[in-house]
Amino acid sequence: MAKRVKCIVLSGNGTNCEMEMAYACKLGGADEVDIVHISELIYGLRRLDSYHFLNLPGGFLDGDDLGAAKAGANRIKYARVKDTSERLYDQLLKFIKQGKLILGICNGFQLMVKAGLLPGFNRDFETQTVTLTYNDSGRFEDRWVCLKINPNSPCIFTKGMERVYLPVRHGEGKFIPRDEKILKRLHEDGLVVVQYSDEHFQQPTMTYPLNPNGSVDAIAGICDESGRLFGMMPHPEAYLYYTNHPRWTRERLPEEGEGILFFRNAITYIRETLL
């Protein structure tokens, strides 16, 4: 019997995009997709070892108390699996060591950076070096944005992609590195995967509202050095069909939405590398 690609989409404590993300995994070619409440992992009812691809969806973990996803990041880092001495984060680190994939979208991206999973320099996945904070506009931004994709990035999820048009919906999406050294290394190592761009998808932009939050160097998403851990603020799972597009009644569009490509790339990589 052929081996099956198994995806887990984490839910609970304020996530609200888990169903869309699970559906995107299915459209991308996954054989099995489970939406799993984090308590199931903490109580030992499920284990990350059973899966190939971890999805961290958007939402408002813990009401964004302490800052977006900070409480959620602490829960994953310090919670112990029931009746064991094992941290849930130990499972996560083992998952990464096994060469598996992690995708964080919006609140999931915020969780990844605040837990230290991204950018994960020198395979240090516990030290936070960047953050995502309040938009320069001082308000929640819900709009579609043009995104330029770095062709030199090692990112698995954006293979073969040059540009994409996706929605953002967040109040704390401004990307800030700890210092200039971190920013320089992100660029030098090709870890800046996605940037907010002008309307022609040519140049990164700091102009509002094309850059909806004021992110440093227009950074919308980054990956780790392996390209297997990736986080971004825009929502690919929100553009799966042409009818999701804001101009679908006025433009001729492919039936398939551009967001599926991120998930298809991930599933293809798993089939070719992990199975």
By annotation, the residues acting in catalysis are: 106, 235, 237
Is the bond preceding 209 in cis, omega lying within 30 degrees of 0? yes
Q: Check: CB of residue 159 under 8 Å from CB of residue 153.
A: no
Question: Within the chain, what is the greatest distance between any pair of CA atoms?
Answer: 57
Could you tell me which residues come within 8 angstroms of residue 122 by beta carbon, excluding any fewer than 6 positions away?
none
CA dist list (Å): 18 to 1, 12, 139, 257, 273? 29, 9, 24, 18, 26
